A and B are shown apart, each in its own frame.
Chain A
Amino acid sequence: MLAVRDAQVVLEGHLALAGVDLDVSEGTVLAVLGPSGSGKSTLLRAIAGLQRLENGTIELDGRSLAGVPPHRRGIGLMFQDDALFPHRDVAANVGFGLRMQGMAPNAAATRVAELLALVGLSDRNRQAVASLSGGERKRVALARALAPSPRVLLLDEPLGALDRELHDRLLGELKRLFDATQQTAVYVTHDAAEAFALGSQVAVMRDGRIVQVATPGRLWAEPTDGWVARFIGLANVEQDGQTVTVTRPEGVTLRPDADGTAVLVSAERDGPLVTLRARRENGREIVAVYVGLAPPSPGTRVTVEVDPGAVIEVPTGR
Chain B
Amino acid sequence: MDANRSSLRRAWLVGAVAVPTAFLALFFAYPLATILERGLTTGDGLALPPGTAGLLWFTFWQAAASTVLTLGVGLPLAWAIGRFRFHGRGLVRAFVLVPFVLPTVVVATAFLALLPEGYERGIPAILAAHVFFNVAVVTRIVGGAWATIDRTTSEAAAVLGASRWRRSREVTLPQLAPALSAASALTFLFCFTSFGVILILGGPTRSTLETEIYNQAARLYDLHAAAVLSLLQLGAVTLVLVVTSALESRLSGAESAADERDVLRRPSGLERPALAAVLAVAAVVLALPLLVLVGRSLGAWGTLFRETPALLVEPWQAAVYSISFAGVAALIALTIGGLAALALARRPPGALDGLVLLPLGASAVMLGFGFLIAFDEAPLDFRSAWWLVPVAQALVAAPFVVRIVAPALRSIDPRLREVAATLGAPPSRGWREIDLPLAGRAFAIAAGFAFAIALGEFGATVFIARSEQPTLPVAIFRFLGRPGAQNQGTAAALAVVLAGIAVVAALAAERAAEGRGRVL
A residues near B, CB below 8 A?
Answer: 48-50, 67, 69-73, 75-77, 79, 81, 83, 85-87, 96-97, 100-101, 130, 144-145, 147-148, 150
Contact = CB atoms under 8 A, between A and B. Distances in A.
B2 A101 contact: no
Top 9 A-B residue pairs of the complex, sorted by shortest distance between their CB atoms: A100-B424, A97-B423, A70-B421, A77-B422, A83-B415, A83-B419, A71-B421, A87-B437, A71-B424
A88 to B, nearest CB: 8
A100 B418 contact: no
Please report whether the interface of chain B is mostly helix, strand, loop or mixed according to DSSP: helix
B512 to A, nearest CB: 15
Contact of A148 (B2, B418, B424): B424
A69 B427 CA distance: 10
B416 interface: yes
A87 B436 CA distance: 11
B44 to A, nearest CB: 56
B422 A48 contact: yes
Most buried by B among A67, A70, A97, A130: A70
Given A71-B420, A86-B520, 5 more contacts: A67-B2, A69-B2, A71-B421, A83-B416, A85-B416
Interface of B: 2, 413, 415-416, 418-426, 429, 433-434, 437-438, 519-520
Contacts of B434: 85
Nearest to A96: B423
Contacts of A83: 413, 415-416, 418-419
A100 B422 CA distance: 10
A253 to B, nearest CB: 49
Nearest to B422: A77
B421 A69 contact: yes
Contacts of A67: 2
Nearest to A147: B423
Contact of B425 (A50, A71, A147): A71
Contacts of A69: 2, 421, 426
17 contacts: A49-B421, A49-B422, A70-B421, A70-B422, A71-B429, A72-B424, A77-B418, A77-B422, A79-B415, A79-B419, A83-B418, A85-B416, A85-B419, A87-B520, A100-B424, A145-B423, A147-B423
B418 A71 contact: no
A50 B421 contact: yes
Contacts of B421: 49-50, 69-71
A97 B438 contact: no
Contacts of B420: 71, 85, 96, 100
Most buried by A among B413, B423, B433: B423
A49 B433 CA distance: 20
